[in-house]
Chain A
Amino acid sequence: MATRAFDYQILAQTGRTFRLERLPLSSFVAPLALLALWQLACLTGLFPPQVLVPPSGVAKALADMTASGELQRHVGDSLQRLLIGFVIGALAGMAFGATIALSQLAEAAFSPTFLTLWQVPVIAFVPMMVMFLGIDEPFKVAVVAIASFFPMALATFDGIRGVPRNWFEVAKIYRLRLFQLIRRILLPATVPAILTGLRISLTRAWVVLVAAELLAADSGIGQMMEMGRQLFQIDVVLAGVIVSGLIGFLLDRGARWIESRASRWRTA
């Protein structure tokens, strides 16, 4: 991709320098202080409860929704959409990325269209997708798939293009067939880039999914927030912010953990 619009490597680097494996005690200071401040602000009446619900109120809303099973239903629906869409989008992205990385002709033919489409925020496709796919599951799965397709395709492309040329020449000398080339050389060499791509796709897809659910859905964590807003239940909205942030954080941490395991395995 001669005119790459956006440096992928950099995206991949983002946050890699952060060591979150061991959380020191001090990392709890800020959240706890914030919580205390928040509760205090509510207790002193600085902010009326209809503007800022105290943490205890949010905790109660979370407990109530858990007890009624509502929270689990919304989270479950969202995660299911995420999983299906992500598998479809990531696989398609990998295949597409590999194709344009391996074939110059394919790159020349597809990359301009790809790069132009990539400039459109996925959320901008939502109204049009609602028109075609309705508001059912296919729509939400498609949103997730599109959101994960692009970063995955770029990561795969970069990973394969990052393989030194002489490795291919070695492969040619040994007359490796395409399948063997993929298994013996491409796969091991591109694992780090692909894992990073998977992590970025996953977290990106989550953000986009919640946004799409806010716009049109009948269930899911985004819809829970939207409903809370319509019924002026700020505690529910805040609970949604916290739960969606927590899930995003856990997805990111989980993917990072797999990444670090894989790179350890690779260097071993």
Chain B
Amino acid sequence: MNGWLARFPVRAAIGLVVPALLILWWHWRTSAQIATFAPPAAVGRALAELLHSGDLLRDTLSTLKRAFAGLAIGAPLGVAAGVAMGIWRPVDRTLGPLLHALRQVPMIGWLPLMGLWFGVGEGTELIVISMSAFFPSMLNSHAGVAQVERRYLDVGSILRFNTAQRIRFILLPAAMPLVLTGITQALAFSWIATIGTELLTGAGSGLGVAMSQAQVQQRLDVMLVVIAVTAALGFLINQIFRRLRQSLLRWQPSVQ
């Protein structure tokens, strides 16, 4: 490790060089007469305007609410399905391939069908978001359960555990790291799906809705503000989940 590079202030300063150059270039481009390009100052004004009107806060909260509601539905179901597939081979053999094919359908491709079956509005969006949270949690839970070492299970049979006890005391704790990984991934996926569905259905409030409205009104400045907020929030949520995961898995020496 080069010592000076590892120091935080130095790293942070270097990390800011590229964004700063980008903004400079951007400013220069806009002053050099390109009509559609919003200058940095305009984006700043748009941010102030959106903060002041409360639109930004409202949209952000709606998007967060949707993403987490989808996660709360999809992830537990995914974990349950993954664990079931990991424990009972017949379930895995019959459902596995089907789920793997379904997984490859672009989530947003379901949107028209969901719209038809469940109607316009929250319900449809929630189902699509839940589905995108479902698959990563299922895959990782399955992998987690499948890799539990034989000898742990042998201990279980010596102690005459029933299925519930086996899941509760052996499989879940052993599979926990991957289950949590799955949930972290599910979060990222539901975040993407939320923005995507909002962009496509475009009703009510939400960051994706704001973006599609900005498109209609040709407001590049607003678009950039929304993108920046999306980036910052995604970053923040992932950080929080990483910390959470680490503290939940403290007891496990093998993790990190």
Binding site for B on A (CB under 8 A): 2-3, 5-7, 10-11, 13-18, 20, 23-24, 26-31, 34, 51-52, 104-105, 108-113, 115-117, 119-121, 123-128, 130-132, 203, 206-208, 210-211, 214-215, 222, 225-226, 228-229, 234, 237-238, 240-241, 244-249, 251-252
Contact = CB atoms under 8 A, between A and B. Distances in A.
B74 to A, nearest CB: 16
Interface string B77-121: 000000000000010011111101111111111111101110000
Contacts of A27: 93-94, 96-98
A108 B19 CA distance: 12
Given A211-B108, A249-B101, A123 B93 contact: no
Interface in B161-215: 178, 181, 184-185, 188, 191-192, 195-196, 199-200, 208, 211-212, 214-215
B231 interface: yes
Contacts of A248: 103-106
A105 B5 contact: yes
Given A115-B235, A248-B106, A14 B191 contact: no
Nearest to B89: A26
Contacts of A130: 215
B224 A111 contact: no
A241 B196 contact: no
Contacts of A29: 94
Interface size class of B (residues with CB under 8 A): 35 or more
B235 A26 contact: no
Contacts, number: 206
B39 to A, nearest CB: 15
> Could you say which of A23, A207, A234, A238 has the most chain B C-beta atoms within 10 Å of its C-beta?
A207
A238 B223 contact: no
A95 B185 CA distance: 26
Given A207-B108, A249-B101, 4 more contacts: A13-B178, A14-B143, A119-B233, A225-B109
A239 to B, nearest CB: 11
A131 B35 CA distance: 11
B94 A207 contact: no
Given A15-B143, A116-B235, A26 B196 contact: no
B178 to A, nearest CB: 8
A14 B106 contact: no
Interface of B, secondary structure class, is: helix
B19 A113 contact: yes
Contacts of A126: 199
A251 B12 CA distance: 40
Contacts of A125: 227
23 contacts: A10-B184, A30-B94, A30-B97, A31-B98, A34-B98, A104-B1, A104-B2, A105-B5, A109-B18, A111-B15, A112-B18, A116-B232, A116-B235, A119-B230, A131-B223, A203-B104, A206-B106, A207-B104, A210-B106, A211-B196, A214-B108, A247-B104, A248-B106
B199 A17 contact: no
- Closest CB pairs A-B (n = 4): A248-B104, A119-B234, A112-B15, A245-B105
A14 B117 contact: no
B117 to A, nearest CB: 7
B97 A31 contact: yes
B192 A121 contact: yes
A140 to B, nearest CB: 14
A226 B191 CA distance: 23
Contact of A120 (B104, B231, B239): B231
Contacts of A211: 106-109, 196
A57 B102 CA distance: 20
